[in-house]
Amino acid sequence: MSATMQVYFVTRTGHVLGAVSRAAGGPKAGQKAASQEDVAVRGVPTLITSEFLVPAKELSTLVQAANPNLLLQPLAFQVTAGDSEAQPLPLPVLTVSSVTLKVQEVTVDVGSKVTAEEKVWVLIAGGALTAPRIAAGAILKDEKSTTLPLETLAQVEHRVLVLVSRRQPFAAKLTAHP
């Protein structure tokens, strides 16, 4: 049997957050399942903080053939509904233009109108929070942004991780404003 790896990805957007090598045996390649473990995310290019802890309930796993590039740069990969293994994010590189954090909402802007709906997932941590807050939604076709409701945040600095389908991860430290 050949070696495999277990890939952890955000269920909503398909962004890969990490991967671990597995010894031969165990589940067959191509099998997806809900994650049983939280995942610490490190290495986001715009990341100002050391890591984000993503709750298991937001994640899925995929067993696939070993891929050294995926181990080295997991954030450059995604898993879509029909994939039996993680694929590189598409080229040209697409990004998130801006994120605005208010005490009861977060706005994600990609800079230009999208040609198809793009799923959005936001994790907010730090500040006075004891557990991360998650917001999920979509940027609708022919729109360039979406505003997602949040439980009230303190007007302090938070760490924000934003994932939008087919786009590079975005992370920043932002202060929630009224």
Question: Domains in the chain and their CATH numbers?
Answer: 4-88 (no CATH), 98-175 (2.60.40)
pLDDT at 1: 44
- Tell me the one-letter amino acid at 147: T
Nearest Cα residue to 170 out of 118, 113, 115: 118
**pLDDT in the model for residue 50:** 63
Count of other CB atoms within 10 angstroms of residue 120 = 24
Within 47-163, residue ranges assigned H as helices are 68-72
pLDDT of residue 91: 83
Q: Is the peptide bond prior to 92 cis by the omega test (within 30 degrees of 0)?
A: yes
Residue segments in the chain with a per-residue pLDDT below the cut of 50: 1
pTM metric for this prediction:
0.91
pLDDT of 45 reads 62
Report the helix count and the strand count for the chain, using DSSP H and E. Answer: 1, 15
Cα–Cα distance measured from residue 59 to residue 164, given in angstroms and rounded to the nearest whole number: 15
Res 49: pLDDT? 59
